[in-house]
Amino acid sequence: MLLMTCKPDRATLKYRFCQWSVCGRAPFSSCSPKVCIVGAGPAGFYTAQHLIKSRQDVEVDIYERLPVPFGLVRFGVAPDHPEVKNVINTFTQTAQHSRCSFYGNVNVGTDVSVKELQQAYHAVVLSYGAEGNRRMGVPGEDLAGVHAAKDFVGWYNGLPDNRKLHPDLSCETAVILGQGNVALDVARILLSPMDMLKKTDITQPALDLLAESRIRRVLIVGRRGPMQIACTIKEVREMVNLPDTRPEMVAADFKGIAEAVKEVPRPRKRLTELLLKTALDVPTEKEQEKRSKASRVWGFRFFRSPVEVLPAPDLSRAAAIRLAVNRLEGSGEGASAVPTGEVEDVPCGLVISSIGYKSLPIDPLLPFDSRKAIVPNTMGRVQKTAGVYCSGWLKTGPTGVIGTTMNNSFDTARALLEDMDSGALDVSSAKPGSQGVTPLLEKRGVKPVEFSDWEKIDNEEIKRGVAMGKPREKLLSVDEMLHVART
């Protein structure tokens, strides 16, 4: 199955003889179409995979800011979801392909410009995802004790930029704003028993801090109602089944839901039914026993939007969150939350804002839609910019699971291939590819990390993990990663 989506040696009907006739006797590699991809997460790898598989002459170089590849598969997927990370196997195959090269530790935008990449390659694919946060935009948002979910997740997953987060887990109640899968992951990690977490690849500093955590209650708050919740059923089921926890919901939030659920498609129906059951049904004897012994509580709260984070008396940190009470207008996925004028204050010491990641522009010369926070594009072709494409969250916005990104990336690759075939993308003249970039990097004192260097980092992490009884113990700083890569 590792070769499933990447068939490097299989001749396809799309092999192009015209490439040979144009280039005559020139060496093969200088004539081949050269594509560079910015970002080595799932979008980058799936785009590369599809390109390499579809044409026998395409060469793909993947540039990545960090010394390590895989993006959110490494830094976003929860430590207790290792199966989701199996895609790393297929990405590794792609990276090891003769027509693919990985260049880590290269920051496109500061170490090399997009314009320079456009000069060196026939096409540039932007797949650098969403490294910013959508802000709540409320007073008190910058108080100690308030964190963006992306940063909290980055912290427990070892993202170098988040290693100094040091969240304060000494309070009793944590409030998470947002009810997507990221919010559920955060809740689950906050409440999971230590003996479950300690076997995962969660970082040791995070594990140590969580072991001392005094958080006993996590509320996951959404603007709208139970039928608009954005998470998926698997994650809800994991909360329901989490050992040593019990659910605590507000029955009134579910008024009218049992009726409304009858008419909706199966996925929404099953999810809502699970919520109803968890919130309202009389528990079985076994479940009742679990609930009565549970030391930790979790619950969804609906129809609430944040309006202010209230500080402690000494103004040093968050002590409560003020929530506006909403009512729902309309129904289904398009229903909107309308404030009623009422507010409610919830005492808490940790506020996690999980309302969305956000893409950032990396080059002022490229078009960027700051309202939607994406690169404006049509089917992955960046608007008004020939030869530049985009895939993944940068293309469509920061929602969707890895499978969504996979299809999205395949679509961009198809558009690019179509353009090569039609001549819309001119691949007839030779381009230097990485040979046009590495001299620039050298001049600027930037030393790329190759895939074989990443493998040294990978080996080291696995080795350290064995000592801790974990699949790996991640290196936490870029310096440490580079040190291992260079040895």
Partner 1 sequence: MCHLKNKEKLVHVTLRESSRRAAVISAASLPTQSRATCLQRGFTTSTQPLRSDNKVTVHFINRDGEKITVKGSPGDSLLDVVIDQDLDFDGFGACEGTLACSTCHLIFEEEVYKQLGPVTDEEMDMLDLAYGLTDTSRLGCQICLTKSLEGMVARVPESVSDIRQSGDGSS
Contact stretch for partner 1 (CB under 8 A) within 76-84, 188-196, 254-262, 287-295: 76-84
Mask: binding to partner 1, 194-233, rule CB under 8 A, as x and -? ------------------------------------x-xx
Q: Using only the alpha carbons of the chain, give its radius of gyration.
A: 24
Q: For residue 170, how many other CB atoms are within 10 A of its CB?
A: 12
H-helix or E-strand spanning residue 324: strand 318-329
- Match 């997953």 to its residue by tokens: 157
Which residues from 273-302 bind partner 1, rule CB under 8 A?
A: none
CB of 381 to partner 1, least distance (A): 10
Site for partner 1 contains 424 (CB under 8 A): no
Helix (H, G, I), strand (E, B) or coil at 288: helix
CB of 86 to partner 1, least distance (A): 4
Q: What CA–CA distances, in Å, run from 122 to 4, 283, 415?
A: 27, 62, 14
Site for partner 1 contains 251 (CB under 8 A): no
Out of 116, 273, 450, 455, the residue judged to bind partner 1 by CB under 8 A? 455
List the one residue out of 113, 53, 12, 35 whose CA is nearest residue 427.
35
Q: What CA–CA distances, in Å, run from 86 to 2, 62, 153, 154, 407?
A: 9, 20, 19, 19, 17
CB of 65 to partner 1, least distance (A): 24
Out of 139, 193, 243, 403, the residue judged to bind partner 1 by CB under 8 A? 403
Residue 73, both tokens = 């598969």
In DSSP notation, 38-79 reads E--SHHHHHHHHHHHHH-TT-EEEEE-SSSS--HHHHHTS-T
Site for partner 1 contains 462 (CB under 8 A): yes
Site for partner 1 contains 89 (CB under 8 A): yes
| Contact between 358 and 373 (Cβ < 8 Å) | yes
Please check if 182 is assigned to a binding site.
yes
CB of 465 to partner 1, least distance (A): 8
Work out whether strand 217-221 and strand 245-247 pair parallel, antiparallel, or are unpaired.
unpaired
Site for partner 1 contains 468 (CB under 8 A): no
Q: Which residue's CB is nearer to partner 1, number 109 or number 367?
A: 367
List the one residue out of 356, 408, 398 whose CA is nearest residue 374.
398
Contact stretch for partner 1 (CB under 8 A) within 107-115, 160-168, 265-273, 474-482: 265-273
Which residues from 358-387 bind partner 1, rule CB under 8 A?
A: 379-380
d(CA 425, CA 387): 6
d(CA 76, CA 152): 10
Site for partner 1 contains 147 (CB under 8 A): no
Site for partner 1 contains 82 (CB under 8 A): yes
Site for partner 1 contains 92 (CB under 8 A): yes
Annotated binding site: 43, 64, 72, 108, 179-182, 223-224, 235, 393, 400-402
Site residues (vs partner 1, CB under 8 A):
1-5, 7, 10, 46, 50, 81-84, 86-87, 89-90, 92, 230, 232-234, 237, 266-267, 270-271, 379-380, 396-397, 399-404, 406-408, 410-411, 415, 455, 459, 462, 471
